[in-house]
Every structure is written in C-alpha cells, then in structure tokens.
Amino acid sequence: MCGVLGIMGLTNLTRAADLLLLLTHRGQDASGLAWTENGTIKSAKAIGSPARIKVPSLSSPLILGSTRYPTSGKRVVSESDFETFVGPFIRKNLALSHNGNITNMKFLSGKNYDCDSEFLTDLLEDYLNECNDDLPSAIRKLSSAVDGAYSLVGIHNNRLFAYRDSRGFKPLVFGRTTEHVIVASESEVLDMADLKLSRDVYPGELLIFNGMNMESYSIRQNETHTHCFFEFVYFAHPSAIIENQLVYDVRFRLGRALASNYVRMRLDPPDYVVPVPDTSRPAAQALAEALNVPMREIILKNRYLGRTFIARDQDERDNLAKNKYIYLEDKIRGKSILVVDDSIVRGTTARMIVSDLRARGASKVYFAVTCPPQSHPCYYGIDISTDKELIASESGLNEIAQYINADALIYQDLNGLINAIGITDLCLACLDGEYPTEHARYIREQIQNRPADEECRDYERVFEK
Ligand code: SF4
C-alpha cells in the first residue's frame, strides 16, 4: 500500500504537496514529489508526511507524488535512504510512482533492490530501450514479466501516464478538465482539486495524457479482476469512490451485516456501541441503528499519532497502540459495551482495548470486527507478509476470543463482506488462501515445506530449487 499522484497542467508544487497529503493514510514512512523543470525531472523527498517536503516556490506542468508504506525493504530512517527507498524514481526521461507489491522481484532481478518501485523503474527503462522508447510496448513487456499488484503513475517524454495491473488489485482513478489531469490512488484528491472523477483506470489499461489528449491502450486483459477487499474495509478514506462504490457506504453496510450476526448469536443488547476510531465509525453507526441502541464515542484517538497498522515492527506498533487511545471513564463504568473495530491482525490491540475497558469498570465487553478472520499473509501490498503475524493463522474463533478476553467475539462472515462491498471480483487471499497470481502461489507452496524465516518477508526469501 502506498499513495500515488500524477498531475498534468501548470500547478504550484506547494499545492501538489497539499494534494499528496490527502494520501498520507496510505503511507507515512516517507514521501516524495518529482516535477519537470526546464526539460529535466527534479525531485524532493522527506521522511514522514508530504507536509515535510521542502519544494521550491514554482509551478510545473508535470508533477508526480508518492507516499511510502514499506512492503519491501526497511523503514526509511535518514536522507541517505531516499535514493533507493522513496519514490518517485527518476531515470533520464522517465519517472515512476508505484502502489502495490511485486512478488517475483527476487526472482527476476540480478540486483539486490531496496524497494520494488525502483526495480519497476529500472525494468521499464530497460524495456523502453528494447522497444525504441515506445511506452505501450514497454508496458506490455513489463506486465508479462512481473507478478503482483501495481498501480503506476509516471512521466515519460514529457507526458503523464497511468497503468493498473490486469487484476486491478489497487485503486487508481483519474479526472480531468480542459486545463488539468489528475491521476491518484483515491478520488478525494480530485474532489480537493475541484475535478470530477472521470472513472477508475481499468485493470490492464494504459492511459497516456499528451497535452489534454488522452490515449487509452488495452495492454493486458485478465478475465478475473481481483480488487483488494481490504481497501474498502480499512485502507481507503471513507470518501473515496473505488469501482463505483463509496467506501463510506460499504463500511455502513458492513455494520448492518455485523448486526445480523450479533442478533443470530442471541447476545443481550449492549448499553452502547463504541467504534474504535476512525475506520470503524460508519459500521458502528449502522450497527447501533440496527440494534436500536446508542452509539457513543468513548474511545478517542490521539490525533497526533499515525496509523498503528502501518508501523514497521511490533515494538513500535505496541508503543503506538498504548498511546493511541484515550477513554471517557465516566461513560464506561458499569456499562456493557459492544466495541467495533475494522480487523484483528495480531490481536494485541484488541486485547489492550478490552483490558482498558474492563480496568475502567465495563460490565461486559463484546468485540465485533467488520472484516472476517485474516488467516493468510498478504503478498500484494500490506506488510503482513508471514503467517506468524496473524493470530487467525493458527487460532480458532474461541481461542481468539479467549486471547483478547472478550465476552463475545462477533466476526463478519464472507457473504456479509462481499454483499456489503457490492462487487464480487475481489481478492480475498488473506481470508481464504486463494492467491490469484502464479508466483504468489509458488511462494505459498515453498512456505509449506520450509520453516518460517523470522527475519524475512515470505516474498523476500529466495527458495533454492
Ligand atoms: S491478500 Fe488481502 S490485503 Fe492483500 S491484496 Fe488480497 S485482499 Fe488485499
């Protein structure tokens, strides 16, 4: 998961950084902007949010942006990491921003890359050289070679382009006027720029914007699209429209579906439904309405911390989680509380919240989750890349309920999830282990026969034949 942005049409760089800031929830490790200036491509990068990027006070006709979430390589710790870890990556007349994760980089590349986005940039440059600088031909070669998820925005020969892998794992949308084109991971960027959403970039489609002309090339068609369901449940901003579905509405419907599960379990109505901020708020609202009990926001978020989910290691995640929530103790004492969260990954945050509520006098704590149990790692763009990071990979529902110490654990079921999202062509691999791409399946086969590597993501291992 990362955020990508492309702008064509004269735009101030500070304004571009403001637009990129809207994609910080997709990656807060580092961020970068690249732009054309007198025929050359320049860049500025920063550790953390785009608000920290120092850009010159000028306007450029072509700008790229990237917010980084590390699914390959380490966290960015100093400016010396910028060149090989932080996009956009620049090669002569080419620059590239990438969202997703390439599963076969270790197999394709002779070089040890720090980050798959740089690998993609080099590969595309090689293919452009082989194809007389013809972008559609080079992208065709790229899409035959790489396995995984990749939504790309780039600059090539003073044109803006966008490409989305043929399965459409990660979102990519665009909008345009007579003066501007914007391509972005999420549609709220277009809203902020006063552009109407034109549509999603179709899976397997290459768009090239040349001046205000748009060319569309069908590069690679896959009969099955596998849009990442977790974008709807967790990653994307609630105002984003992905595949014609408003994420807010999806989350609301997830809450309604959870209410049916709660009723089926014949549990007593709680005194309050309480969202874990912020993602689960629409679901909690729907659940409260369906159960006819009040929703109360008695777990408040420390706004000055980032998303714990995208912290790089468990220690940092635990520390962030500890400082993340503030509780309204007076409203908790003696009450039975139905907590709603978007997912249980390692189980440590859920366990901490239940324990904190009990310590403040809650009489009962039920825990509802808008996502079904995630029992398999993701190889396509979230940094949960090994089984050992997932409590549901080896524990059943009763064990998880016991571990988090809830009076009842109410999970979303698969039908509820799919109906709420409203489209059926989804990637569900982290729920059912059905990986849609060939190399990811190969990695799973290898993992079955080899012990887990504590140090390494599954797709960063090289398996001896
Ligand atoms: S495995 Fe899960 S998180 Fe990863 S792309 Fe598929 S649905 Fe999304």
On whether residue 416 sits in a domain, the answer given is: yes
The CATH number for 136's domain is 3.60.20.10
Q: Residue 240: inside a domain, yes or no?
A: no
Here the CATH number for the domain that contains residue 370 is 3.40.50.2020
Instruction: Give ∠ CA 198-204-208 in degrees, rounded to 5.
Output: 55
Cis previous bond, 133, omega within 30 = no
Neighbours of 327 (CB within 10 A): 17
Assess whether 442 and 293 both reside in one domain: yes
- Ligand 1: nearest atom to the Cα of 231: 8
The answer to the question of residue 278 being in a domain is yes
The pLDDT assigned to 343 comes to 95
Query: Could you tell me the distance, in angstroms and rounded to a whole number, from the CA of residue 230 to the centre of ligand 1?
Result: 6
Q: Is residue 465 part of a domain?
A: no
Alpha helix positions (H), 150-246: 188-192, 229-230
b/e per residue 263-292 (b: at least 16 CB within 10 A): eeeebeebbbbbbbbebbbbbbbbbbbbbe
Query: Reduced to 3 states, what is the DSSP secondary structure of residue 168?
Result: coil
217 and 268 in a single domain? The answer is: no
Judge if 92 and 44 occupy the same domain: yes
Same domain assignment for residues 155 and 60? yes
Where does a domain end: 225, 255, 285? 225
Question: Which of 162, 195, 225 delimits the end of a domain?
Answer: 225
Q: Is 258 within the bounds of a domain?
A: yes
Measured CA to CA in angstroms, residue 270 lies from 182, 196, 358 at distances of 46, 42, 15
Which secondary-structure segment (H or E) carries 427?
strand 426-427
Give residue 126's pLDDT: 97
Query: Among all residues, which ones are annotated catalytic?
Result: 2
CA of 315 to the centre of ligand 1 (A): 24
In the sheet that 205-210 helps form, which strands lie side by side, from edge to edge?
Answer: 89-91, 94-102, 148-156, 159-164, 205-210, 213-218
CB atoms inside a 10 Å sphere around CB 360: 17
Residue 69's pLDDT is 83
Helix, strand or coil for residue 232?
helix
Cα of 134 vs centre of ligand 1, distance in Å, is: 32
49 phi and psi angles, rounded to 5 deg: -75, 155
11 and 111 together in one domain: yes
Q: Whose CA is nearest to atom 6 of ligand 1?
A: 427
Same domain, 270 and 322: yes
Q: What is the pLDDT of residue 384?
A: 77
Report how far residue 300's alpha carbon sits from residue 326's, in angstroms, rounded to the nearest whole number.
5
The domain tally of the chain equals 2
User: Which residue lies with its CA nearest to atom 2 of ligand 1?
Assistant: 430
Q: Are residues 210 and 119 in the same domain?
A: yes
- What pLDDT shows up at residue 452? 66
Contacts of 427 (CB under 8 A, 6+ apart): 167, 169, 226, 227, 228, 229, 380, 436
Same domain, 383 and 275: yes
pLDDT at 308: 56
Distances (CA, A) of 71 to 26, 57, 437: 12, 33, 17
Output the DSSP codes for 345-379.
SSSHHHHHHHHHHHHTT-SEEEEEESS----S--S
Atom of ligand 1 nearest to the CA of 169: 5
Q: DSSP of 280-333, one letter per residue?
A: THHHHHHHHHHHT--B---EEE-TTS--GGG-SSHHHHHHHHHHHEEE-GGGTT
pTM over cut 0.85: yes
The per-residue pLDDT for 20 is 98
Whether the upstream peptide bond of residue 88 has omega within 30° of 0, thus cis, is yes
Tokens (6 digits) for 442: 């190969």
DSSP H or E segment with residue 12:
strand 3-12
Atom of ligand 1 lying closest to residue 431 CA: 2
Residue 174's contacts (CB-CB under 8 Å, 6 or more residues apart) are 162, 181, 182, 183, 184, 190, 197, 198, 199, 201, 207
Distance 152 CA to ligand 1 centre (A): 18
Domain of residue 123, residue span: 3-225
Same-domain status, 410 and 297: yes
Lining ligand 1 with CB less than 6 A are 169, 228-230, 378, 380-382, 427-430
In a domain, 230, yes or no: no
Domain assignment present for residue 133? The answer is yes
73 and 209, same structural domain?
Answer: yes
CB of 422 closer than 8 Å to CB of 245? yes
Question: In the structure encoding, which two tokens stand for residue 428, read together?
Answer: 């569900």
Q: Look at residues 225, 260, 277 and tell me which one is the last residue of a structural domain.
A: 225
Q: Is residue 233 a part of any domain in this protein?
A: no
Q: Counting beta carbons within 10 angstroms of the beta carbon of residue 13, is it exposed (0 to 12), middle (13 to 18) or buried (19 or more)? A: buried
Residue 361 and residue 346 in contact, taking contact as beta carbons nearer than 8 Å: no
Please report, in tens digits, the pLDDT of each residue of the chain (465 residues total).
Answer: 699 999 999 999 999 999 999 999 999 889 999 999 998 999 999 999 999 999 999 999 999 999 998 766 667 777 877 888 888 999 999 999 999 999 999 889 878 888 899 999 999 999 999 999 999 999 999 999 999 999 999 999 999 999 999 999 999 999 999 999 999 999 999 999 999 999 999 999 999 999 879 999 999 988 799 999 999 999 999 999 999 999 999 999 999 999 999 999 999 999 999 999 999 999 999 999 999 999 999 999 987 766 555 555 666 666 667 778 999 999 999 999 999 999 999 999 999 999 999 999 999 999 999 999 999 999 998 877 788 889 999 999 999 999 999 999 999 999 999 999 999 999 999 999 999 999 999 988 888 777 666 667 777 777 665
Beta bridge partners of 44: 33
Helix (H, G, I), strand (E, B) or coil at 171: coil
From 26, 380, 387, 441, mutation site for ligand 1 pocket: most ligand atoms within 8 A of C-beta: 380
Q: How many CA atoms lie within 13 A of 161 on its CB side?
A: 25
Tokens of 146: 């790489």
Q: CA distances (Å), 199 to each of 150, 196, 232, in order?
A: 18, 9, 17
On whether the CB atoms of residues 228 and 376 are closer than 8 A, the answer is no
Task: Give yes or no: residues 221 and 254 share one domain.
Answer: no
Asked whether residue 183 falls in the same domain as residue 124, the answer is yes
Measure 455 CA to ligand 1 centroid, in angstroms.
Answer: 22
Given this model, what pLDDT does residue 449 score?
74
